[in-house]
Amino acid sequence: MKKGTFYAVGVGPGDPELLTLKALRVLECCAVIAAPQGKGGAMTALSIAAQAVDLSQKAIVPLPLAMERSVAARQALHKEAAAVLAAQLDEGRDTAMPCLGDTALYASSSYLLALLRETGYTAEQIPGVPSFCAAAAALGRSLTEMDAPLHIVPAGKTDLEEALAWPGSKVLMKAGAEYGRVLQTLRGKGLDDRAALAANCGLPGETLCTTLRSAPAHSGYFTTFLVPADGDGTLS
């Protein structure tokens, strides 16, 4: 029996109208939809896909992939999820996994793609709109211009003082529990009027702040800061 193909499908940050034509086609053609499941059972990527494609006749297979602090725990979840996917592929079923944002950017699917490819399965990536691109559009800003570099920074795990000194614009993602520290650091650098943030972009509860003066005291994991390059009009 010919084995099925695994597709990691980027569905963008939240707005179902941002799905690409290729993402729609792949989701429509696959018999199985593997849905990443976070803590509390939330399947956000699946809910986005379901607003754009009729999934009522698909086999929905939840994949518990809650973010764990322990590297060993994360690796165990990835191996378990890859085994679940392999079982579907061994039956000849093409399987699509909707992924928030893009499949090449801080995506759990990258680990599953590697595990499946290592064991001989065909696995493909369908790119999606990254959250920071959608955030910039929603805020009416440019990310970078001319020859200025753009840095994508995992804010919760990075020396922000050092990162903010790099030349060019910065996108600060994954602040998570460090949101308050990140906000305080940016304000301490005098960026209240120049930096911006978007939280839950395209999702229920979306928050857009064109300056940090209106930033909430608390915010969740899906919060992105846009920090302009020094001395130019980028992001302004």
Residue type, 7: Y
pLDDT of residue 74: 85
Instruction: Answer yes or no: is pLDDT of 151 > 70.
Output: yes
What's the confidence (pLDDT) of residue 177?
83
The class level of CATH for 131-227 reads alpha beta
Q: 168 and 144 in contact (C-beta within 8 Å)?
A: yes
Q: Which regions of the chain carry the CATH code 3.40.1010.10?
A: 6-126
CA Rg value for the chain = 19
Residue 231 has pLDDT above 60, yes or no: no
Convert the pLDDT of each residue in 80-100 to its tens digit: 999 999 999 999 999 999 999
Annotation: CATH topology of 6-126: Cobalt-precorrin-4 Transmethylase; domain 1 (3.40.1010)
- Residues 169-190 have a mean pLDDT of 91
Say if residue 191's pLDDT is above 90: yes
pLDDT for 233 equals: 42
Report the chain's mean pLDDT, rounded to a whole number: 91
Mean pLDDT is highest, among 3-12, 177-186, 213-222, for 3-12
- The stretch 55-73 carries a mean pLDDT of 86
Residue 68 pLDDT: 65
The Cα 154–Cα 123 span in angstroms is 27
Say yes or no to pLDDT of 39 above 60: yes
179-196 average pLDDT score: 93
Residue 104 Cα distances to 9, 207, 235, 236, angstroms: 10, 25, 24, 28
Q: Where are the domain boundaries for CATH 3.30.950.10 in the chain?
A: 131-227
What is the pLDDT at residue 142? 92
The CA distance from 37 to 52, in Å, is 19
List the strands of the sheet with 6-10, edge to edge.
59-64, 32-37, 95-99, 6-10, 123-126
The share of the chain scoring above pLDDT 70, in percent, equals 97
pLDDT (mean) for 9-20 = 96
Q: For the ranges 33-37, 155-159, 169-173, which has the lowest average pLDDT?
A: 155-159
For residue 155, name the pLDDT band (cuts at 50, 70, 90): confident
Give residue 236's pLDDT band: very low, low, confident or very high (50, 70, 90): very low
Q: Is the pLDDT of residue 234 over 50?
A: no
Percent of the chain topping pLDDT 90: 75
